[in-house]
């Protein structure tokens, strides 16, 4: 249907006849002549026609789909558009044909118009015509191509694993699919391909990867989707550094492809404990400093009760220097409220005055040497605002880590700061006080004895990749000994019988000469989001769902026919039935 892409026509084509097809964008009439931009996937070119010769152009409206035969001309002096790749030329129309008219659109196809997200999602196919979204789609495709290329060169095998499976625990709820043949039984959609990739290691596939769709039914958390895409990868005869080296290469290749930057390798590494101690989070944003400073030893004898009590109770006193900033009573209250929200009992603030003294509600309780040590430890200079919290180590660093992010995080993603967080705890406390896995139950402990003796403090062979304060993904060296796997289940409160029932097939597989293995998975949505400078993964997912898992365009999830439900052996609750009646007008 066409000879050229609209965005590819250049000065070297002048005087050539070309046929183009695409959409009408920005039409204007000027001195009896009609101009419009013709857009296709390759870009935009200006088209010029005399409506007397080509009356069709008078009827052209925004986003009409058209075909144009014309001649490439150099634009007249002074009318060039240097912002446009094709800005030195235009197409003089010889013939124009409307391939498909368009109704008035719900919003403008440009990046300048603000459109609310629901409207965008209801007409996602139009939203994707907008340049920014089209660029995000292309970036995503280039990202997955770079990932495939890099892994292919390293000898990885791409293997697809099933998506109608038995549950694989990754800490979320399963999305379930009812079976028609076996009423009352359900498939789970994979939270990840975790156990299948481990089985592939047992099968002798030594290097596996997959660009895998994963499903996690999590309660509305900002910027999560019930379905998302991971690069999932696993290697046999691997130790931790084999995994980290491989993932670093993949991430660096993707960043190079999308941003044209060279990421210095290896990435910096912090242990989980260091990350918490210095940044108060397990996914620190290393684009800025404002590190947490330990003041405990300087304040051990303090007359200020809050500090002294915390220290006497084996707690800690920590500070961040938030730098020079406006500091009013109202601002102080606001930041204190935020600290409380993050779990603090209270927050102490101090402003360094020009004469070096400290302005603070607690200044009068501090000795001169304490004041000096605080300033020295925090590298404080006149104008700086210091924030200090005291209490249990974990809460204290988390509070300051939260404030650090609030006050220091750069907007956008111009800079890219990758890092590894290693040596995660094996287990953590659940909200109800019970013990749960921090990564997933297939992660190897560093020491089996330590795990048995003191599970609360045991360290695992798990690691996270972090980019600009966002957790990109996690991985670990796995348990390859069925006996150790049984013990981990037991510590997690899964008794032997339940473990056999749920994971017997996997425990059996482990006993046939399983090679030591490990792997990783990172979120492709999140990676592309950061590389494209977006702040939501919904901007880089072609057809995302809202925070409550709804697709406003197709209406999914939807009610199904009563007969279909009966085949599946599913009965609706009275409440669901009445809602269904209201929404569908059926009984």
Residue nearest to ligand ASP (CB): 192
520 binds ligand ASP (CB under 6 A): yes
Candidate list 322, 468, 474, 514; residue touching ligand ASP; CB under 6 A: 474
d(CA 269, CA 248): 12
Q: Give the binding-site size for ligand ASP (rule: CB under 6 A).
A: 10
Which is nearer to ligand ASP, 190 or 469 (by Cβ)?
Answer: 190
Candidate list 161, 194, 321, 444; residue touching ligand ASP; CB under 6 A: 194
476 binds ligand ASP (CB under 6 A): yes
**367-401 per-residue burial string, b: 16 or more CB within 10 A, e: under 16:** eeebbebbbebbebeeebbbbbbbbebebbbbbbb
CA angle 196, 201, 202 (to 5 degrees): 95
Applying CB under 6 A, which part among 410-418, 498-506, 513-521, 567-575 lies near ligand ASP? 513-521
Instruction: Report the nearest approach of ligand ASP to the CB of residue 475 (Å).
Output: 4
| 3-class SS of residue 416 | coil
Which is nearer to ligand ASP, 86 or 246 (by Cβ)?
Answer: 246
Give the pair of three-digit tokens for residue 234: 């696993």
| 3-class SS of residue 436 | strand
Number of Cβ atoms within 10 Å of the Cβ of 214: 24
Which is nearer to ligand ASP, 377 or 484 (by Cβ)?
Answer: 484
Q: Are 398 and 281 in contact (CB under 8 A)?
A: yes
Instruction: Report the nearest approach of ligand ASP to the CB of residue 332 (Å).
Output: 40
Candidate list 310, 311, 521, 537; residue touching ligand ASP; CB under 6 A: 521
Candidate list 161, 192, 316, 468; residue touching ligand ASP; CB under 6 A: 192
d(CA 299, CA 309): 11
Candidate list 169, 391, 402, 475; residue touching ligand ASP; CB under 6 A: 475
Which is nearer to ligand ASP, 170 or 248 (by Cβ)?
Answer: 170
End-to-end CA distance of the chain: 51
Q: Is the peptide bond before 266 cis (omega within 30 degrees of 0)?
A: yes
Which is nearer to ligand ASP, 43 or 475 (by Cβ)?
Answer: 475
Which is nearer to ligand ASP, 238 or 349 (by Cβ)?
Answer: 238
Q: Which residues pair with 517 in a beta bridge?
A: 236
d(CA 181, CA 337): 56
Which is nearer to ligand ASP, 254 or 360 (by Cβ)?
Answer: 254
Q: In what order do the strands lie in the sheet with 418-422?
A: 157-158, 207-215, 227-236, 517-523, 470-477, 462-467, 418-422, 269-271
Candidate list 229, 519, 528, 545; residue touching ligand ASP; CB under 6 A: 519
* Footprint (CB under 6 A) of ligand ASP, residues 427-446: 440
Applying CB under 6 A, which part among 270-278, 414-422, 490-498, 518-526 lies near ligand ASP? 518-526
Which is nearer to ligand ASP, 203 or 367 (by Cβ)?
Answer: 203
d(CA 412, CA 530): 8
- Kindly tell me the burial class for residue 164, based on how many C-beta atoms sit within 10 Å of its own C-beta (0-12, 13-18, 19 or more): exposed
Which is nearer to ligand ASP, 18 or 477 (by Cβ)?
Answer: 477
485 binds ligand ASP (CB under 6 A): no
385: closest CA among 363, 353, 355, 411?
A: 353
* Footprint (CB under 6 A) of ligand ASP, residues 157-176: 170
Which is nearer to ligand ASP, 304 or 427 (by Cβ)?
Answer: 427
What are phi and psi for residue 286, nearest 5 degrees? -90, 10
* Footprint (CB under 6 A) of ligand ASP, residues 196-255: none
* Footprint (CB under 6 A) of ligand ASP, residues 91-150: none
Applying CB under 6 A, which part among 335-343, 448-456, 516-524, 547-555 lies near ligand ASP? 516-524
Q: How many CA atoms lie within 13 A of 315 on its CB side?
A: 19
* Footprint (CB under 6 A) of ligand ASP, residues 549-578: none
Q: Which residues bind ligand ASP (CB under 6 A)?
A: 170, 192, 194, 440, 474-476, 519-521
């Amino acid at each position: 249907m066409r000879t050229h892409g609209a965005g590819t026509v250049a000065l070297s084509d002048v005087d050539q006849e070309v046929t183009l097809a695409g959409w009408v964008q920005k039409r204007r009439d000027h001195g009896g002549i009609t101009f419009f931009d013709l857009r296709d996937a390759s870009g935009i070119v200006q088209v010029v026609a005399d409506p007397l010769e080509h009356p069709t152009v008078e009827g052209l409206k925004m986003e009409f789909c058209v075909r144009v035969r014309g001649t490439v001309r150099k634009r007249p002096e002074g009318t060039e558009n240097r912002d446009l790749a094709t800005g030195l030329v235009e197409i003089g129309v010889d013939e124009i044909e409307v391939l498909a008219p368009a109704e008035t659109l719900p919003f403008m196809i440009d990046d300048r118009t603000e459109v609310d997200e629901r409207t965008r999602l209801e007409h996602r196919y139009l939203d994707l015509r907008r340049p920014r979204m089209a660029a995000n789609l292309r970036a995503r495709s280039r990202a997955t191509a770079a990932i495939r290329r890099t892994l292919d060169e390293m000898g990885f095998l791409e293997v697809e694993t099933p998506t109608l499976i038995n549950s694989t625990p990754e800490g979320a709820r399963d999305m379930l699919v009812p079976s028609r043949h076996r009423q009352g039984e359900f498939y789970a959609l994979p939270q990840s391909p975790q156990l299948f990739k481990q089985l592939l290691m047992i099968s002798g596939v030594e290097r596996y990867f997959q660009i895998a769709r994963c499903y996690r039914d999590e309660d509305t958390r900002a910027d999560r989707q019930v379905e998302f895409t991971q690069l999932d990868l696993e290697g046999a005869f691997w130790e931790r550094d084999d995994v980290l080296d491989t993932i670093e290469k993949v991430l660096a290749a993707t960043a190079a492809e999308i941003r044209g930057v060279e990421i210095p390798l290896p990435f910096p590494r912090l242990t989980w404990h260091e990350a918490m101690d210095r940044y108060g989070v397990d996914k620190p944003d290393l684009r800025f400093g404002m590190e947490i400073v330990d003041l405990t030893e300087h304040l051990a004898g303090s007359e200020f009760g809050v500090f002294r009590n915390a220290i006497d109770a084996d707690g800690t006193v920590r500070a961040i220097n938030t730098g020079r900033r406006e500091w009013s009573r109202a601002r102080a209250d606001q930041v204190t409220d935020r600290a409380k929200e993050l779990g603090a009992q209270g927050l102490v603030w101090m402003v360094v005055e020009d004469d070096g003294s400290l302005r603070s509600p607690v200044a009068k309780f501090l000795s001169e040497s304490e004041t000096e040590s605080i300033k020295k430890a925090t590298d404080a200079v006149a104008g700086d605002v210091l924030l200090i919290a005291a209490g249990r180590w974990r809460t204290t660093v988390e509070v300051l880590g939260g404030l650090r992010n609030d006050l220091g995080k750069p907007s956008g993603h111009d800079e890219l700061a990758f890092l590894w967080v290693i040596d995660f705890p094996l287990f953590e406390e659940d909200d109800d006080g019970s013990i749960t896995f921090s990564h997933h139950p297939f992660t190897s402990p560093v020491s089996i004895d330590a795990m048995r003796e003191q599970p609360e403090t045991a360290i695992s062979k798990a690691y996270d990749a972090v980019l600009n304060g966002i957790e990109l993904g996690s991985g670990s060296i796995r348990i390859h000994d069925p006996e150790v796997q049984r013990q981990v289940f037991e510590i997690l409160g899964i008794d032997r019988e339940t473990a056999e029932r749920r994971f017997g097939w996997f425990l059996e597989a482990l006993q046939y000469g399983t090679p030591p293995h490990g792997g990783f998975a990172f979120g492709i949505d999140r990676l592309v989001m950061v590389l494209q400078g977006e702040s939501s993964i919904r901007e880089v997912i072609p057809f995302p769902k809202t925070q409550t898992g709804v697709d406003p365009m197709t209406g999914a999830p939807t009610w199904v026919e009563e007969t279909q439900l009966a085949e599946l052996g599913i009965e609706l609750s009275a409440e669901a039935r009445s809602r269904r009646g209201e929404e569908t007008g059926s009984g």
